[in-house]
Structure 1
Amino acid sequence: MSERQSAPPMTNHSRPPVLPPTLSGIDIDALWREIVEGACGCCDPLVKGLLATGIRNHATFGAALAALIGRKLGDRAVADDALSELVTEVFAADPDIVAAAAADLVAIRERDPATGNYATPFLFFKGYHAVQSYRVAHWLWNNGREYLALHLQSRSSELFAVDIHPAARLGRRILFDHGTGIVIGETSVLEDDVSLLQGVTLGGTGKNVGDRHPKVRRGVLIGAGAKILGNIEIGEGAKIGAGSIVLESVAPYTTVVGNPARAVGTRHSSLPAFTMDQMLPPLDYII
């Protein structure tokens, strides 16, 4: 079995997922209409062309997203128009990628207090752009176009300072808040409803090959600068404190902090990725 096939499938926990009503189902056409309406509210003459190119010139969410990825990642090696056409073909082959992108956008609006509408993250949030670029690269990787997938990974890393290996496995409703400095290794798994802040690394511990990166379960919140290393599991609903170094698996609904990280509290329920609550319980001094 090749390394890119070695990542385990995402697990389905015995308890059915309980999602906020606004995330349980998305009408992509209605979402696009709201994005267009939001873009029409701006009267700044210097921004009108940007809004037209990014939003108003496109009939659908998928078409606008394909054009955006092409503009962002296109270069002299793969031109903007050619890349946008490629992304359009990928979306046609797997419409679920577009659905996942819409779900990610809704998650950003729900969780990020700096987001006043859908047009803002769609156009300007590089964490969102990096995840959607990854989704295209992941499809290419799984369909035998590995060098093109790696090219998109490289361009995304250069432009967004976010490095996601195209073989990694990401679920839906993923939020990379700020995005800068996030690194996701080849055999990493992020299940649905995960939120990461800037500077997070999901990495290996050395030169091991095969399945060697973290598995992050549903609803996890990972604070800024945290480093999670090795083939370990971060249980559902866990919270990783900012700056923590995590070298061992974390139990579900448990908060860990420090270097090396240790448990400082547990909860019976709730998913911190939804609330983005980074507060910790009262602590003794910890490095």
Structure 2
Amino acid sequence: MAQAVIMTSESLWRTIRGEAQRAADADPVFGQALARAILAHDDFAAALADLIGHRLGRSAAERTRFTALSRNAFRDEPDLIAAAGRDLRSIALRDPAITSLLPPLLHYKGYVALQAWRVSNWLWRHGHGDAALLFQNEASNVLQVSIHPAAAIGSAVYLDHATGIVIGANVVIGDEVTILQNVSIGRDSELPARSPRIGRGVYIGGGATILGDIRIGDFAKIGADTVVTSDVPAGCTAVGNPARLTNCPEPLPAA
């Protein structure tokens, strides 16, 4: 399994380096930035750790610290890099504005915020709560995306536009989920407080709010500005405040 992860990461890295080299050859000025961000590194993990450090750190010391913590996480758990690669490929597949991997890697703050969360979650799971919360705080300050390190998020996830996204502690988000700007997902005021569980392939529109001990089924859609406080079955669309269901799949006929 580990060998397959390494091979997949190497293939991804060759593609990214190739795109970077072609862009650098075409534009020498931009090429200087690419040389530091991409071409100076030996692998995807090193480049991603450096990118996280430079985006979150507001001083040389902070940049060094964030980079080092990210490298430690990626070295200890190669699956984090595999997930980061799936996240990156998913953007290229779902965003009609791009056709390559380099632009979202370098310029999409939602991508960087998600990978910073992956490091913070690793820190949280290894008993480094203060460092994990530091990652969350800086990602919130700099990137306007706040994901608690105790959340659980799958791979091939796309934070589109990625401004004003808040994901609380113990929220569970499945693979292939798309989340737009100004989305809040977290606990409600009821006791005991529990967090939402978001299924695979769910689409969450801008401004949506999802609260409480509820389940959003696989491939459901949550419309813009919708407020969801109860379950949404798989394949259904929820719209409005309070949410109402529409476009649900037809039930199978009785046997």
TM exceeding 0.5: yes
Matching residue of 2:84:
101
1:40 is the counterpart of 2:21: yes
Matching residue of 1:251:
233
1: CA distance between counterparts of 2:106 and 2:66? 18
Alignment partner of 2:216 out of 234, 237, 243: 234
Q: Deviations over 1:106-136 (max 9, x none)?
A: 1111111112210100111001001000000
Q: Deviations over 1:39-65 (max 9, x none)?
A: 122233432221111111111111100
Please tell me whether the aligned partners of residues 84 and 115 of structure 2 are also in contact (alpha carbons under 8 angstroms).
yes
Measured after TM superposition, the shift of residue 29 of structure 1 is: 1.0
Percent identity between the two aligned chains: 43
- SS where residue 242 of structure 1 aligns? coil
2: CA distance between counterparts of 1:120 and 1:268? 40
2: CA distance between counterparts of 1:65 and 1:250? 36
Structure 2 unaligned runs (5+)? 1-6
Structure 1 unaligned runs (5+)? 1-25, 270-287
Matching residue of 1:264:
246
Measured after TM superposition, the shift of residue 82 of structure 1 is: 2.8
- SS where residue 130 of structure 2 aligns? helix
Q: Deviations over 1:128-167 (max 9, x none)?
A: 0010000000000111100000000000001111100000
Higher relative contact order, structure no. (Cα contacts within 8 Å, ≥ 6 residues apart): 1
1: CA distance between counterparts of 2:122 and 2:95? 28
2: CA distance between counterparts of 1:241 and 1:253? 13
2: CA distance between counterparts of 1:77 and 1:112? 33
1:27 is the counterpart of 2:3: no
Q: Deviations over 1:163-191 (max 9, x none)?
A: 00000000111110111111101010001
1: CA distance between counterparts of 2:67 and 2:242? 44
Matching residue of 1:222:
204
- Within 5 A, what are the aligned runs for 1:1-287? 27-42=8-23, 43-76=26-59, 79-206=62-189, 208=191, 210=193, 212-267=194-249
1: CA distance between counterparts of 2:250 and 2:161? 29
Please tell me whether the aligned partners of residues 221 and 240 of structure 1 are also in contact (alpha carbons under 8 angstroms).
yes
Please tell me whether the aligned partners of residues 253 and 268 of structure 1 are also in contact (alpha carbons under 8 angstroms).
no
2: CA distance between counterparts of 1:53 and 1:116? 23
Q: Deviations over 1:55-78 (max 9, x none)?
A: 111111111001111111123595
2: CA distance between counterparts of 1:208 and 1:107? 37
2: CA distance between counterparts of 1:203 and 1:107? 24
Q: CA RMSD in A?
A: 1.8
1: CA distance between counterparts of 2:57 and 2:124? 18
Change (3 A) 1:47 1:207: farther
Please tell me whether the aligned partners of residues 237 and 246 of structure 2 are also in contact (alpha carbons under 8 angstroms).
yes
- SS where residue 27 of structure 1 aligns? helix
Please tell me whether the aligned partners of residues 223 and 241 of structure 1 are also in contact (alpha carbons under 8 angstroms).
yes
- SS where residue 224 of structure 2 aligns? coil
Please tell me whether the aligned partners of residues 157 and 163 of structure 1 are also in contact (alpha carbons under 8 angstroms).
yes
Please tell me whether the aligned partners of residues 200 and 226 of structure 1 are also in contact (alpha carbons under 8 angstroms).
yes
Please tell me whether the aligned partners of residues 238 and 255 of structure 1 are also in contact (alpha carbons under 8 angstroms).
yes
Give the letter for the 2:208 counterpart.
Answer: A
- SS where residue 224 of structure 1 aligns? coil
Give the letter for the 2:197 counterpart.
Answer: K
Greater helix proportion? 2
Please tell me whether the aligned partners of residues 110 and 162 of structure 2 are also in contact (alpha carbons under 8 angstroms).
yes
1: CA distance between counterparts of 2:60 and 2:46? 22
